[in-house]
Chains A and B, each alone.
Chain A
Amino acid sequence: MSQSQHFEGGTQSPEPADSFGVIEVNDLVIDFPIDAALLNRRYLRAVNHVSFKLVAGQALAIVGESGSGKSTCARALTRLYKPASGSLRLDGSDINDPTQGLSRIELARQIQMIFQDPFSSLNPIHTVGHHLHRPFKLHRPELAEGEFTDKIHETLARVGLSPPELIVNKYPHELSGGQRQRLAIARAISTGARFILADEPISMLDVSIRLGILNLMADMKSDGIGFLYITHDIATARYFAEETAVMYVGHMVEWGDSDSVTQNPRHPYTQLLIDAVPEVGRARTKKSVSRSKSQIPLWTADSKGCPFADRCPLVEDRCRTEMPSLTQVANNHFARCFALDDSEKIDTKQVK
């Protein structure tokens, strides 16, 4: 199956043969209520018709600012939020459809999350050993009680927490930030998870240890774990993930090969984002990108047009009334913008 196909908003039913080891998100819509009215309650549309696919052994980065809906996508995959429409499939089974045989525990076994703050995602009154003993006991019925200790030591060594015999008896407050995040990763892989949803896993860590965590995740990726890497730092997205998707106000505005997206961004928002990144040794021109200081819009089900229209330097009339269709700009690189050359456009209706 070609790489370029899987981001399409198509609805073709997945073939059993190539749907194993894959998470498919199709046309996902998530609404949150913004008032408590009984009638005519208003909803904020946090995620608006988003489709993507996670493949075992690869990473997809979702990049965006606060409030762009990137974390909401990840949480929907762990059933923390219920979608308004659209489907989320693991190995071809819909994770929100109880008739398709995915129990709560089975889902947790396959998909695990790592959170931003390793200080609050670990239980302060339990030891490192306890944090790993629980998932082994719950999720690895094939292991006998006596095997747990060895397995825990093995897992700690694998995430670079050594010596395991000493670490296992420590409490979270005795570990540094980087060590805590390593423990969170150890806990996620100890269930035997095939997919890890990492929500800003390095943004709260000291700069000198961030790369250690990213490299550890890259090693897990080589071992066959699929990653959804959520970040606001597009440079680390390029470093870690094969594919990058850029979100703005709940919309996926550009996505594809990480290198293609970062080296040749086509959507004005991605260009703004990349231009804003400070970089050592890069001269900054006096004229700046961000003269477009409007507010980020509040998106609802009735909102029309392109969400970036108010801030876009290339805005046209039609941007305010209709959402641009999909343009394929390179082999595996798509963007939604009217300003892209019409000749590059592919007909998304035909794909459907």
Chain B
Amino acid sequence: MSGVLLQIKNLCVDYVTDAGTARAVNDVSFNIAAGETIGLAGESGCGKSTLAFAITNLHSAPALISEGSILFEGRDVLCMPDDELRRFRWAEASMVFQSAMNALNPVITIGEQLIDVILAHNAVSYEEAYGRAESSLELVGIHPSRMQSYAHQLSGGMRQRVVIAIALILRPKLIVMDEPTTALDVVVEREIMDQLYELKAELGFAILFISHDLGLMGEITDRIGVMYAGNLVEMGTTSGLLASPQHPYTQGLLASFPTIHGPKTRLEGIPGNPLNLLEIPEGCYFQDRCNKKTDECLLRQPELIPLQKQPSHQVACVEVTGL
């Protein structure tokens, strides 16, 4: 059975600050099936990266996972003892971070960093690890002679490929990608994405793909979740969600990108400013920026409810679900 790989249940993550507690992830639940690609969209500060860090239990103070559980093949990542957690990270779930320059160590070679990962998890000889590191570089289209290079000797796109090679080297079942191409030029971004499709087809890992770019996400994901101010406000299949977005925020987000081929009309985007998590309102968090606000919205934060005609598509909006 190609069942559930990762199960996130009622996850809440808080940042404890002097000014108060900011809930960056608020009661989020969803599953990732084996081999599935899930996109998580939203703007800065919506909690998507905080959620990503929680999956491999990477949070430390001031972040606090206050509620919920994260089950990876049935084992709760948040309750793992240290040595089990250390084995779990990277071997089963790895991460690709946004800034490849910061993710690589500037003073040791690319090859050393790849070998380091292998030796930390597997009892193999240095020579064998070296060979595996070389083939891992080849996998992402980098010549093995680059083993001796340092991070500063590579272009931005190559660095990001090295980071992907490191994430793949232990053949994990899940890769969390936090804005993997945001810092890159559009042509290089295209090269990396093409590489990713090929690798995914070949190796069959699951991806949690985090980005603010719904266009890019539409190309690679099976399902998309949209987050606003720590809440998952809409989730559905990629084609369903992009073709008929239901939540006013998703609709606004999709209308925030001028198209290159579509009609040229004045777009309005979303009025107002992103919510300050220390000043959350009573009721729906999106109320101040919403064009469909009613009195109902002031009462409580709506729950994520499946649409009647399309149960795989869930929306958290009173106006849409009527609940």
- B245-280 near A? 1/0 per residue, CB < 8 Å: 000000011111111110010111111011000000
**B-contact bits for A177-196, CB 8 A (1 contact / 0 none):** 11100000000000000000
A65 contacts B by Cβ under 8 Å: yes
Query: Would A279 and B256 be within 8 Å (CB), given that A232-B185, A290-B194 are in contact?
Result: no
For the complex, is B319 an interface residue (Cβ under 8 Å from A)? no
> Which stretch of A41-49, A52-60, A151-159, A208-216 is in the interface?
A208-216
CB contacts (< 8 Å) of B214 on chain A: these are: 280
Q: Is the CB of B190 within 8 A of A289?
A: yes
- Against B, the Cβ 8 Å flags (1 = close, 0 = not) of A263-279 are 10000000011111111
Contact A281 B243 (CB under 8 A): yes
CA A178 to CA B243, docked complex, whole Å: 29
| Nearest chain A CB to B142 CB, angstrom units | 11
| Whole-angstrom distance between the Cβ of A82 and the nearest chain B Cβ | 28
Contact B256 A276 (CB under 8 A): no
Would you give the 0/1 interface string for A243-283, flagging 1 where the beta carbon is closer than 8 Å to chain B?
A: 00000000000000001001100000000111111111110
| A281: chain B residues within 8 A (beta carbon) | 218, 242-243
Q: Once the chains bind, are B191 and A279 in contact (CB under 8 Å)?
A: no
* CB-CB under 8 A for A209 and B273, given A232-B185, A278-B218, A280-B214: yes
Residues of chain B from 214 to 243 with CB closer than 8 A to chain A in the complex: 214-216, 218-219, 242-243
Is B186 part of the binding interface, using a Cβ–Cβ cutoff of 8 Å?
yes
Bound Cα distance A274, B260 (Å): 8
- Per-residue CB proximity of A202-243 to B under 8 Å, as 1/0? 000011111110110010000000000000111110110000
Given A206-B44, A280-B257, A290-B194, A212:B271 Cβ within 8 A: yes
Contact of A350 with B by CB under 8 A: no
A352 at the interface (CB under 8 A from B): no
Tell me the bound Cα distance from A239 to B256 in angstroms.
Answer: 11
Bound complex: CA of A239 vs CA of B263, how far in Å?
A: 10
Write out the residue numbers on chain A whose beta carbons fall within 8 Å of the beta carbon of B258: 211, 214, 235-236, 238-239
Q: Is the CB of B194 within 8 A of A210?
A: no
Counting CB contacts under 8 A, is A288 at the interface?
A: yes
Do A295 and B269 touch (CB < 8 A)?
Answer: no
How many A-B Cβ pairs are below 8 Å? 114
Does chain B have a CB within 8 A of A349? no
Q: Is the CB of B43 within 8 A of A278?
A: no
**Per-residue contact bits, chain B 160-201, to A (CB 8 Å; 1 contact, 0 not):** 000000000000000000000000011101110110000000
Q: For the complex, what is the distance from the CA of A288 to the CA of B243, rounded to whole Å?
A: 24
Given A276-B190, A293-B191, residue A259 in contact with residue B261 (CB < 8 A): no
For B255, the chain A residues whose CB sits under 8 A away are 211
Task: Point out which of A176, A177, A280 has the most chain B C-beta atoms below 10 A from its C-beta.
Answer: A280
Interface size class of B (residues with CB under 8 A): 35 or more
Given contacts A207-B212, A235-B257, A293-B191, is CB(A259)–CB(B43) below 8 Å? Answer: no
Contacting pair A239 B267 (CB below 8 A): yes
B260/A65 in contact, CB under 8 A = no
CB of B285, distance to nearest CB on chain A (Å): 13
- Which A residues lie within 8 Å of B268 (CB)? 211, 215
Complex Cα distance A20/B212, Å? 42
Please state if B253 and A207 are interface contacts (CB–CB under 8 Å).
yes
Among the listed B191, B256, B264, which residue makes an inter-chain contact with A210, where contact means beta carbons less than 8 Å apart? B256
Q: Please give, as numbers and ranges, the residues of chain A lying within 8 Å of B243 by CB-CB distance.
A: 281
* Contact with B269, one of A176, A208, A234 (Cβ below 8 angstroms): A208
Nearest Cβ distance between residue A200 and chain B, in whole angstroms? Answer: 12
Q: Whole-angstrom distance from the CB of A83 to the nearest CB of chain B?
A: 26
Chain A residues contacting B116 (CB-CB under 8 Å) are: none
Which residue of the partner chain B has the closest CB to A218? Answer: B266
Contact B273–A262 (Cβ < 8 Å)? no
A215 to B257, CA, bound (A): 13
Please tell me if B21 contacts chain A, counting CB pairs below 8 Å: no
Given contacts A212-B271, A290-B191, contact A207 B257 (CB under 8 A): yes
Picked from B43, B187, B264, the residue with its CB within 8 Å of the CB of A238 is B264
Bound form: Cα–Cα A282–B254 in Å: 14
For B186, give its contact among A65, A215, A259, A295 (CB under 8 Å): A65
If A206-B43, A278-B218, A280-B254 touch, does A235 touch B269 (CB 8 Å cutoff)? no
Interface assignment of A66: CB less than 8 Å from any CB of chain B: yes
CA distance in complex: A5, B227 (Å): 49
User: Is B155 located at the chain interface by the 8 A CB criterion?
Assistant: yes
- Which B residues touch A284, using CB under 8 A? 219
A278 vs B270: C-alpha distance when bound (angstroms)? 21
Binding site for A on B (CB under 8 A): 43-45, 141, 155, 185-187, 189-191, 193-194, 212-216, 218-219, 242-243, 252-261, 264, 266-271, 273-274, 289
Using CB atoms and an 8 Å cutoff, list the residues of chain A in contact with chain B.
65-66, 176-179, 206-212, 214-215, 218, 232-236, 238-239, 259, 262-263, 272-282, 284, 288-290, 293, 295
4 new A-B contacts at CB < 8 Å, known A178-B273, A276-B187, A278-B213: A179-B273, A209-B270, A278-B189, A280-B218
Q: 13 A–B contact pairs at CB < 8 A? A: A176-B273, A176-B274, A206-B44, A208-B256, A209-B274, A214-B258, A232-B186, A235-B260, A239-B267, A259-B264, A278-B218, A284-B219, A290-B191
Closest 7 CB pairs of A and B: A211-B269, A239-B258, A278-B215, A276-B190, A278-B216, A208-B270, A206-B43
